[in-house]
């Protein structure tokens, strides 16, 4: 059997650069290397692409970018070339983008790969973009009758409602977060007037498009579901986040501080099934393909509502998506193979 030429993209320009490096390290330790011809492509924080020939440890420790192991490169039709040897094209069958946030999860790199007629793992341009933008996601979910928290969208270069005007619509406490960021960067819980301005300023700092959400803080706890598939969709297990602070922040997600992930979630069998159904409905409403992690809340009134979608969830050893799939009977190496298989099923470029 011919091996696929698999390019793994890591790094990127977003605030989640370090998360990508750790995800890529775990991914490369779990993938069945005998099944693929691996091509590693790192993107530095200035957006320069490099062919990388070093080891996994350097990626994880962010020492990968060096003259010995890196060669500037560029994508071309169905492949990549070294800018130092442009006549020598490296064919690529499929790309696994392990990129989070801006330019990785928002449809930008997916558009590049579409133009180059290269298959890629995960959602297409449109579903990546609308899932990344939390305002657009909320609008579409309302049309699809998918329950979400009440919200107001603030825009940096427009006149916005005041604190008092928002409070008339949505009682405190609130969660303020960027519309186009992840890993809990710029996310704050607001309980008083004094909390408001600093939270707004920080959320705008992390949003690349000048939009932030003010959402009603949910009395309950967060659960999630790993989803995978194209036309046929598989919903994996449900996990639960037990936090010891006010929000599930970066340290909780990636440093196991102040939070615990419990899989499977400690909920009733009916709630488990209802969460899977809502995750499925959301995945289909956003026109997702490949994979996504659907984050939800189980409220104190025992209602399940949507929080957000992650179209390229974390792939570290402790990340929620592979853990939920593992609980559903799909090991990390098998998961990687299945996601690549799904990517090869989808058409890219011209029909």
Residue 310 β-bridge partners: 293
SS (H, E, C) 140-184: HHHHCCCCECCEEEEECCCCCCCHHHHHHHCCCCEEEEECCCCCC
Q: Are 122 and 291 in contact (CB under 8 A)?
A: yes
From CA 296, how far away is CA 222, in angstroms rounded? 6
CA distance linking residue 10 with residue 14, whole number of Å: 11
Tens digit of each residue's pLDDT (9 = 90 or more) over 43-69: 999 999 999 999 999 999 999 999 999
Overall residue count recorded for the chain in this entry? 351
The enclosing H or E element of 70 equals strand 70-76
Residues 182 and 96 reside in one and the same domain: no
CA distance 206 to 180: 8
Q: Are residues 223 and 302 in the same domain?
A: yes
pLDDT tens across 61-108, in order? 999 999 999 999 999 999 999 999 999 999 999 999 999 988 999 999
Please, which pLDDT band fits residue 207 given cuts at 50, 70 and 90? confident
List pLDDT tens digits, range 266-276.
999 999 999 99
Task: List the domain range (segments joined by +) for residue 259.
Answer: 130-147+219-345
- Do 245 and 327 fall within a single domain? yes
User: If 0-12 CB within 10 Å is exposed, 13-18 middle and 19+ buried, where does residue 268 land?
Assistant: exposed
Whether 253 shows a pLDDT value over 50: the answer reads no
pLDDT digits (tens, 9 = 90+) for 21-34: 999 999 999 999 99
Q: Do 207 and 90 have their domain in common?
A: no
Q: How confident is the model at residue 1 (pLDDT cuts 50, 70, 90)?
A: low
- Do 335 and 224 lie in one domain? The reply is yes
Last residue of a domain, one of 173, 193, 216: 216
Q: What is the pLDDT of residue 196?
A: 96
For residues 36 and 136, membership in a common domain is answered with no
State whether 134 and 170 are in the same domain: no
In a domain, 158, yes or no: yes
pLDDT of residue 259: 78
- pLDDT of 323 higher than 50: yes
CATH code assigned at 85: 3.40.50.20
Residues 100, 78 share a domain: yes
Confidence of residue 209 (pLDDT cuts 50, 70, 90): confident
Minimal CA–CA distance to 137: which of 80, 103, 180? 180
Tokens 């995978």 correspond to: 228
Q: Same structural domain for residues 65 and 179?
A: no
φ, ψ (nearest 5 deg) of residue 207 = -90, 130
Structural tokens at position 78? 């169905």
One domain, residues 212 and 223: no
Percentage of the chain beyond pLDDT 70 is 94
75: tokens are 């994508």
Answer whether residue 173 shows pLDDT above 70: yes
Same domain, 98 and 13: yes
- Do 155 and 175 belong together in one domain? yes
Q: Do the domain assignments include residue 67?
A: yes
Q: What is the pLDDT of residue 236?
A: 98
How far is residue 33's CA from residue 44's CA, in Å, rounded to a whole number? 24
- The DSSP output letter for 110 is H
Calpha distance 211→179 (Å, rounded): 6
Write the CA distances from 320 to 207, 225, 325, integer angstroms.
Answer: 24, 9, 9
Query: Quick one: average pLDDT of 171-180?
Result: 94
More confident residue, 180 or 111: 111
Domain boundary among 216, 238, 264: 216
Q: Is residue 350 part of a domain?
A: no
What is the DSSP pairing of strand 85-91 with strand 94-98? unpaired
125 inside domain? no
- The domain total for the chain is 3
Which residue has tokens 């995960």?
122
For tokens 């996994």, the residue is 56
Kindly tell me if the per-residue pLDDT of 254 is higher than 60.
Answer: no
Tell whether the model's pLDDT for residue 14 goes beyond 60.
Answer: yes
Could you give the C-alpha distances from 326 to 274, 288, 317, 320, 335, in angstroms and in order? 20, 21, 11, 10, 8
Once rounded to an integer, what is the mean pLDDT over residues 217-237? 97
pLDDT of the residue at 248 = 43
Average pLDDT value for the chain: 93
Q: In the predicted model, is pLDDT for residue 351 greater than 60?
A: no
């Amino acid at each position: 059997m011919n091996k696929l030429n698999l390019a793994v993209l890591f790094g990127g320009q977003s605030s989640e650069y370090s998360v990508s490096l750790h995800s890529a390290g775990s991914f490369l330790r779990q993938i069945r290397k005998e099944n693929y011809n691996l091509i590693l492509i790192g993107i530095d924080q200035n957006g320069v692409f490099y062919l990388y020939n070093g080891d996994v440890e350097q990626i994880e420790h962010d020492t990968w970018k060096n003259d010995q192991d890196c060669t500037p490169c560029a994508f071309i039709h169905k492949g990549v070339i070294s800018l130092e040897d442009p006549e020598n094209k490296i064919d690529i069958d499929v790309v696994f983008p392990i990129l989070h946030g801006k330019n990785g999860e928002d449809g930008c790199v997916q558009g590049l790969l579409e133009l180059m007629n290269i298959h890629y793992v995960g959602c297409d341009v449109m579903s990546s973009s609308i899932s990344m933008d939390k305002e657009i996601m909320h609008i579409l979910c309302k049309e699809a009758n998918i329950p979400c928290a009440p919200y107001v969208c603030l825009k940096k270069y427009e006149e916005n409602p005041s604190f008092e005007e928002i409070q008339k619509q949505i009682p405190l406490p609130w969660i303020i977060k960027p519309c186009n960021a992840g890993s809990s960067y710029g996310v704050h819980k607001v309980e008083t007037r004094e909390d408001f301005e600093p939270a707004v300023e920080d959320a705008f700092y992390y949003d690349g498009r000048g939009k932030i959400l003010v959402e009603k803080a949910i009395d309950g706890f967060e659960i999630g579901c790993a989803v995978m598939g194209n036309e046929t969709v598989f919903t994996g297990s449900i996990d639960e986040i037990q936090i010891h602070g006010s929000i599930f922040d970066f340290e909780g997600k990636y440093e196991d501080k102040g939070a615990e992930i419990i899989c499977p979630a400690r909920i009733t069998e009916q709630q488990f099934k209802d969460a899977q159904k809502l995750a499925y409905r959301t995945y289909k409403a956003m026109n997702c393909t490949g994979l996504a992690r659907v984050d939800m809340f189980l409220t104190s009134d025992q209602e399940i509502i949507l929080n957000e979608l992650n179209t390229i969830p974390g792939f570290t050893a402790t990340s929620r998506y592979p853990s939920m799939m593992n609980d559903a009977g799909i090991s990390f190496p098998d998961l990687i193979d299945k996601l690549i298989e799904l990517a090869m099923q989808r058409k890219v470029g011209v029909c």
